[in-house]
Amino acid sequence: MDTGYRKSMLDKKVSRRDFLKGAGALIAVTAAASPALLSGCFGVPGKTSSPPTTISQLPGVIYSPDVLRANRIPPGQTETGTWPLEGQGNAAAIDTTGWTFSITGEVSAPLTLSYSEFMALPSEKVFSDIHCVTTWTRLNNLWDGFGSKTVTGLVTLKPDAKFVIIHADNGFTSNLSLADFLQPDVIFTYQHDGTPLPAEHGGPMRLVVPQKYFWKSAKWVTGIEFSAVDKPGFWETRGYNNNADPWKSERFG
């Protein structure tokens, strides 16, 4: 589910338009080198999804592995050109002047960052697809933000740190293994397709975990907790699968 839970409901960046325009200009070159890749990058028949380019063609952009699959639509999913909302209604904007991000748990010293301190971290761009458990998939998303490895690098992990609990507004949590959290395409994002992330989609900051169903990508994040034990999150304790791999249809149980 496209999902964080919230009672109140809440440098010049490369734009999605420029990104895809650049990709289109390079199709001929890429096709010569990798026709198999390009032949499968257009989503489902009848749709108009643009293909990605390779990392060497647009340096500085991290490509989620799923965008390089021959078939980018997982089992049971249907491509959509929109970004559906899942049950939030009208989300209230969060005042960034009071926003903080905490790093706690199995770390040598807990750390709390203000919004301005968080935004001063080295930024990254991730190009990925979205797979929601409610069966829609949105291809070709460009995210600006801060990689999970960058954020983790702000602290020293204790040897027992094996899991990450993502904390979000109103007590919402989501859980990941440390290995899944540290994948290169996992990003704390404040901008989607060249525009600030709106409140209804998790602004001012949400986590994006492209290789999992989108409920793992918690909205309105407020911190992370490194843990020695797994702690199933909001949806996981309500029957959703703990691993959430869309390519294995790990929706429930």
Model confidence over 105-126: pLDDT tens digits?
Answer: 999 999 999 999 999 999 999 9
Positions in the chain whose pLDDT score sits under 70: 1-57, 87-90
* One-letter identity of residue 167: H
* C-alpha span between 221 and 238 (Å, rounded): 20
CB 79 within 8 A of CB 49: yes
Confidence (pLDDT) at 25 = 34
CB 219 within 8 A of CB 201: yes
* Residue whose entry in the numeric block shows the structure tokens 């026709």: 35
* C-alpha span between 173 and 218 (Å, rounded): 7
CB 205 within 8 A of CB 189: yes
β-pairing, 78-79 vs 111-114, is unpaired
Domains and CATH numbers, the chain: 16-248 (3.90.420.10)
Helix (H, G, I), strand (E, B) or coil at 138: strand
Confidence (pLDDT) at 57 = 54
What single-letter DSSP state applies at residue 234? Answer: T
| The model's pTM | 0.80
